[in-house]
Amino acid sequence: MKQRLVPVVPMSHTAHIRSHRKPRRTAQTTMAMRAGVAGGVLSTLAVAGASGSANAAEPVTQTLELPTLTADLAAQVAQSAEATQQAAANYQLRAERDAAAEEAAKEAKADLAEAKKKAEAKKKAAEEARKAAAERATRDAERTTLTATAATATTATTVSAPAGGSVATVIGFLKAQVGDAYVMGASGPNAWDCSSLVQAAFKQVGVDLPRVSQDQSMAGTDVSLSNLQVGDILYWGGKGSAYHVGVYIGGGQYLDAANPSKGVVIQDLSGYPASGAVRVL
């Protein structure tokens, strides 16, 4: 029996077989992947590949999920920038408010200190005014007492020596006027010149003295400056031409209506030595 020979046809290299090779990525695909990673947004892109051989039997299709850029990216970036700007603006506003509050606190503290200072000054002025009023009331009371005493004294038209105790009355009257003003030509009760004060003091005990200092230096008996007694009248300038008078109160001191800047004061005789003295009591 003859065997039938079947011719064996060798398979061609171009026979249709399923390709197992991975499709090559093009430069465009790589760029799309990189851009999609940067945007963070994923989309699906179908990529079709063909086999390297021109005679491939069937195409190979592969689906890749690639990130792509979308229009939302620009919106997200814009929102992020706007949020950053708003945060910076809020921070600056808070900083300005804090600075303004600190400045206001400093001003309030300074105003409080100034108000306290003014209140203390006002309180001090009120206290000084109260003391001055009290001193004035005391002096007025002393004047009233001295006036009443003088009203009972015997009136004399010439210089004479009244009863004992009259020197103390003269000195008491003079000390009650300390602090009064000096006004040329004034004769009390709150303003004097030098001779009107001396005249008023001795009038309290009934001794009438001339009005002006020149004539007062001629009254009574001359006294040495080394032998002064309380109540002696001091004068400055020549006897009969004196330009100022005062009364010796003891302890090297005298009392006078000095000048407009001092008024009625007690001073040391050593600081302004007298030219001479007379005694009328």
Q: What is the pLDDT along the chain (281 residues), one digit of tens a residue?
A: 455 555 555 554 444 445 545 555 555 555 545 545 444 444 444 444 444 444 444 555 555 555 555 667 777 777 888 888 888 888 888 888 888 888 888 888 888 888 888 888 888 877 777 776 676 666 556 555 544 544 443 333 334 344 346 999 999 999 999 999 999 999 999 999 999 999 999 999 999 999 999 999 999 999 999 999 999 999 999 999 999 999 999 999 999 999 999 999 999 999 999 999 999 99
What does the domain layout of the chain look like in residue ranges?
Answer: 27-70, 93-152, 154-279
| Distances 244 to 170, 210, 254 between C-alpha atoms, Å | 18, 13, 13
- Asked if residue 132 lies in contact with residue 193, where contact means CB atoms within 8 angstroms, the answer is no
Q: Which helix (H) or strand (E) holds 276?
A: strand 276-279
Question: Pairing mode, if any, of strands 60-67 and 244-250?
Answer: unpaired
Domain 154-279, CATH:
3.90.1720.10
CB contact at 8 A, 209 and 200: no
